[in-house]
């Protein structure tokens, strides 16, 4: 077990039925705030819009609400889709969140991948890499200068005062969605921490090894590279109940609804063909069971992968809020202490 294990909650709010969207969104906010009481280290908000795939269209709004109701837990984006928005707007919004949270923002960024979302914002998907690079450049300028200007291909900003200033210096920690080899290479070259989804420990070991290779080739020190990897995260679908049968009954069908989309299967090392729940459990994409079952599975996976931090996707496919809250409580009371105790030995 790697030392200093950390546990976060991943929040996408992907649901098959949005009949009562207001209750769903408020319930997800309550769960994200409850993560602090339950003993998690952070909560991470995914940005999606225009479909049931994800109801958090504006992670900065959800983040501000969490900041107002919590005092310890870190608040991350997993991720903020930079090419779809004006970067000065993003820089201002997330600087405000860093202020409101007193320096608890972790800023995860990505290009996104949904053709429908790009079309709805009127942005060509083919421009996503160039727009991402320029948007991040603008955001970092805003966060590290009292005043700045920018004249680029997509954005032109006259001299402007960057206020409010971020609390964390030189800027909040950066993370990047690292789903493709190109994204891993970019993250390594820039020494940015990774947010990754995966089922198998073997694939994660390969991804971490590629990061080391690219980062060292870019001139970063071995110490700095290991520090960045020690702060990177891997997503796992988690549901805990008093016994294995109950956990599978509560979460299994919602999980399978989500994984009927081929893009979701590929994110977790799945094949093109739809697979039964047992396949995903055997291949490490999800851990549903009692606290003892889930703790044992995570111990084994973390030892095999070498990953320090687990980002727990507790609400896959719209599991009822009371069941998710109970799962988080059991994870905080009986899984986290066991894993941290094992790490300390």
pLDDT per residue as tens digits for the range 309-320: 999 999 999 899
- Which domain range does residue 120 map to? 79-95+108-166
Rounded mean pLDDT of the chain? 94
Do 172 and 119 share a structural domain? no
Residue 177 lies in a domain: yes
Do 152 and 204 share a structural domain? no
pLDDT value of position 166: 98
* Mean pLDDT, rounded, for 21-33: 93
Do 265 and 119 share a structural domain? no
The more confidently predicted of residues 286 and 14 is: 286
Percent with pLDDT over 90 in the chain: 82
Do 302 and 236 share a structural domain? yes
Read off the CATH number of the domain in which 215 is found. Answer: 3.20.20.30
pLDDT 10s digits, 102-122: 999 999 999 998 899 999 999
* Mean pLDDT, rounded, for 140-167: 97
Measured CA to CA, the distance from residue 233 to residue 222 in angstroms comes to 19
Do 202 and 139 share a structural domain? no
Do 221 and 101 share a structural domain? yes
Residue 127 has what DSSP assignment? G
User: Kind and range of the H or E element at 322?
Assistant: helix 321-330
Residue 222 lies in a domain: yes
pLDDT at residue 1 above 50?
no
Q: DSSP for 68-126?
A: HH-SSSEEEES-EEGGGS-HHHHHHHHHHHHHHTTS-EEEEEE----HHHHHHTT--GG
Do 283 and 245 share a structural domain? yes
pLDDT 10s digits, 222-269: 999 999 999 999 999 999 999 999 999 999 999 999 888 767 787 788
What's the half-sphere exposure (Cβ side, CA atoms, 13 Å) at 246?
A: 10
Measured CA to CA, the distance from residue 232 to residue 127 in angstroms comes to 27
Question: Phi first, then psi: what are they for 188, rounded to 5°?
Answer: -65, -45
pLDDT at residue 343 above 90?
no
pLDDT 10s digits, 42-68: 999 999 998 888 899 999 999 999 999
Is the distance from CB of 138 to CB of 150 less than 8 angstroms?
Answer: yes
Q: Which of 30-44, 65-79, 144-158, 189-203 has the lowest mean pLDDT?
A: 189-203
Do 146 and 254 share a structural domain? no
pLDDT value of position 332: 98
Number of residues that make up the chain: 345
Q: Mark 221-257 as b/e (b = at least 16 C-beta within 10 Å).
A: eeeebeebbebbbbbbbbbbbeeeebbbebbbebbbb
Measured CA to CA, the distance from residue 173 to residue 106 in angstroms comes to 5
Both tokens of 181, joined, read: 């080899």
pLDDT value of position 18: 66
pLDDT value of position 2: 47
The more confidently predicted of residues 341 and 102 is: 102
* Model confidence band, residue 191 (pLDDT cutoffs 50, 70, 90): very high
pLDDT 10s digits, 273-286: 889 999 999 989 99
* Mean pLDDT, rounded, for 6-28: 89
pLDDT at residue 19 above 80?
no
* Model confidence band, residue 72 (pLDDT cutoffs 50, 70, 90): very high
Both tokens of 66, joined, read: 């969490």
Residue 204 lies in a domain: yes
Do 189 and 60 share a structural domain? yes
Residue 119 lies in a domain: yes
SS3 content of the chain, % helix, strand, coil (to 5): 50, 20, 30
Do 214 and 123 share a structural domain? no
User: Kind and range of the H or E element at 207?
Assistant: helix 201-217
Question: Phi first, then psi: what are they for 23, rounded to 5°?
Answer: -65, -40
pLDDT at residue 164 above 50?
yes
pLDDT value of position 3: 52
pLDDT at residue 335 above 60?
yes
pLDDT value of position 262: 66
| Burial of residue 213, with CB atoms counted within 10 A of its CB: 0-12 exposed, 13-18 middle, 19 or more buried | middle
Q: Mark 282-293 as b/e (b = at least 16 C-beta within 10 Å).
A: ebbbbbbbbbeb
Do 50 and 16 share a structural domain? yes
Both tokens of 133, joined, read: 């690079």
Tell me how far CA of residue 228 lies from CA of 45, 222, 338, in angstroms. Answer: 21, 10, 25
* Model confidence band, residue 293 (pLDDT cutoffs 50, 70, 90): very high
Closest C-alpha among 211, 238, 237 to residue 225: 211
pLDDT at residue 95 above 70?
yes
User: How many domains, in total, are found in the chain?
Assistant: 2
Do 129 and 175 share a structural domain? no
Residue 1 lies in a domain: no
H helix runs in 221-320, sequence order: 222-230, 244-258, 262-267, 277-282, 291-305
Q: Decide which of 118, 141, 166 is a domain's last residue.
A: 166
Q: Decide which of 124, 146, 166 is a domain's last residue.
A: 166
Measured CA to CA, the distance from residue 40 to residue 252 in angstroms comes to 23
pLDDT value of position 90: 98
């Amino acid at each position: 077990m790697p030392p200093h294990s950390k546990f976060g909650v991943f929040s996408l709010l992907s649901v098959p039925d949005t009949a009562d969207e207001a209750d769903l969104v408020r319930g997800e906010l309550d769960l994200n705030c409850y993560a602090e009481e339950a003993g998690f280290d952070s909560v991470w908000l995914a940005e999606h819009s225009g479909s049931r795939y994800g109801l958090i269209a504006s992670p900065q709004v959800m983040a501000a609400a969490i900041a107002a109701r919590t005092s310890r837990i870190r608040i991350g984006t997993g991720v903020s889709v930079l090419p779809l928005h004006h970067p000065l707007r993003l820089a201002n919004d997330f600087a405000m969140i860093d202020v409101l949270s007193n320096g608890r923002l972790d800023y995860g960024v990505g290009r996104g991948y949904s053709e429908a979302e790009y079309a709805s914002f009127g942005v060509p998907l083919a421009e996503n890499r160039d727009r991402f690079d320029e948007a991040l450049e603008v955001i970092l300028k805003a966060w590290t200068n009292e005043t700045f200007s920018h004249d680029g291909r997509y954005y032109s900003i006259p001299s402007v005062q960057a206020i409010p200033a971020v609390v964390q210096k030189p800027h909040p920690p950066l993370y990047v969605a690292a789903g493709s080899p190109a994204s891993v290479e970019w993250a390594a070259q820039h020494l940015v921490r990774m947010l990754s989804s995966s089922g198998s420990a073997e694939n994660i070991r390969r991804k971490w090894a590629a990061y080391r290779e690219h980062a060292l080739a870019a001139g970063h020190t071995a110490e700095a590279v290991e520090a960045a990897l020690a702060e990177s995260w891997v997503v796992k679908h988690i549901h805990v109940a008093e016994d294995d049968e109950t956990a599978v009954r509560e979460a299994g069908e919602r999980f399978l609804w989500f994984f009927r989309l081929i893009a979701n299967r590929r994110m977790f090392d799945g094949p093109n063909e739809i697979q039964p729940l047992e396949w995903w459990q055997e291949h490490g994409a999800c851990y549903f069971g009692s606290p003892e079952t889930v703790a044992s599975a995570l111990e084994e996976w973390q030892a095999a992968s070498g990953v320090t931090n687990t980002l727990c996707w507790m609400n896959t496919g719209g599991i009822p809020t009371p069941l998710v809250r109970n799962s988080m409580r059991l994870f905080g009371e009986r899984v986290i202490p066991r894993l941290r105790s094992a790490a300390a030995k």
